Amino acid sequence: MTDSNAIVLLFPGQGSQAVGMGKDLAENHPIARQTFEEADEALGYKLSQICFEGPEDQLRLTEITQPAILTVSIAALRVLQAQIPSPAFVAGHSLGEYSAHVAAGTISFADAVRTVRNRGRYMQEAVPVGVGAMAAILGMELEKINTICDEAAQGEICRPANINSPEQIVISGNSAAVERAVKLADERGAKKAKLLPVSAPFHCSLMKPAQDRLQADLDKLTMVNPVYPVACNVDAELVTDSSRARDTLVRQVTGSVKWEQCVRLLIAKGVQTFMEVGPGKVLWGLMRQIDRSKTSLNVSDEASLAKTIASLQQIHA
């Protein structure tokens, strides 16, 4: 069991982006500004400008979104680090697992920024536009969704991709199969089932070409053992060595994101405080659906930073 004051840092994935993200942190904290400068240099273009000013359609391009969210997350982390105790564990949702590994020292920030840019590009190029789709199914158990996916597949791909919370599971696969699954989920009592406006069918076997390309990149990276255990998406287990870290990041491209299981694993370790670090409040919201008895905090800008520091001071008083 872990000390009851233990903190877990959670890092968001794609979908948390918004124009303006990271701007006030960069204006108020030299370390945040420096983080954006490092990202601009690593990528060879002004990622900071796209984060701060848009345009939104550019920020939505997967190969820009991924390094953008990672950079804002690490900028927020670096501002926060001086003001909070070290975390007991770290975890990230899909792309966010790279932020978690940067936080744990497994991968350097510059390497991570370049790797997730390529990851975004490879994922985009793996499946022609229109061939794949994703859909969110709300208020239905995983077992029922597995059955629906099996029935809807009809020789195509249709699988749970993000097991986010007891309330929310996202499926992924060939467009027609996902559409059939949405119809079945509606008929069988899901609270809601709707197609998502995504550019590719992430976290299913259609992503195998992207996984193979990414593996070649990850094999070349220098990785060291993480300082903090990282709860990995693909196995919902704690990763403590670099070779396992590499393997789980590779398999994550086609594997489903077992987010609810990751959070429950951390709760079983005795963690009471979960802090989302990066743009948006998606993981904070999922945390409320998984276990409302735990303390959920988030740091995405100056206001949430101040609020979180004040909350932590109360907890540790």
How much of the chain is in helix, strand and coil states, percent to nearest 5?
50, 15, 35
Superfamily designation of domain 7-126+206-315: Malonyl-Coenzyme A Acyl Carrier Protein, domain 2 (3.40.366.10)
Q: CA 79 to CA 72: how far, in whole Å?
A: 11
* Residue ranges covered by each domain of the chain: 7-126+206-315, 132-198
pLDDT digits (tens, 9 = 90+) for 102-155: 999 999 999 999 999 999 999 999 999 889 999 999 999 999 999 999 999 999
Q: What mean pLDDT is reported for the chain?
A: 96
Does this model's pTM top 0.85? My answer is yes
The residues near 241 (Cβ < 8 Å, ≥ 6 apart) are 225, 226
Distance CA 165, CA 287 (A): 8
243 contacts: CB under 8 Å, gap ≥ 6: none
Peptide bond into 55 cis (omega under 30): yes
Catalytic residue among 16, 48, 73, 94: 94
Q: In this predicted structure, what is the pLDDT of residue 3?
A: 60
48 catalytic? Reply is no
23 has a pLDDT exceeding 90: yes
Residue of 172, 203, 256, 300 marked catalytic: 203
- Tens of pLDDT, residue by residue over 269-313, are 999 999 999 999 999 999 999 999 999 999 999 999 999 999 988
Residue 314: the pLDDT is 86
Contact partners, residue 118, CB within 8 Å, separation at least 6 = 63, 213, 214, 217
CATH superfamily of 132-198: Malonyl-CoA ACP transacylase, ACP-binding (3.30.70.250)
- Determine whether 93 is an active site residue: no
Confidence at residue 211, expressed as pLDDT on a 0 to 100 scale: 98
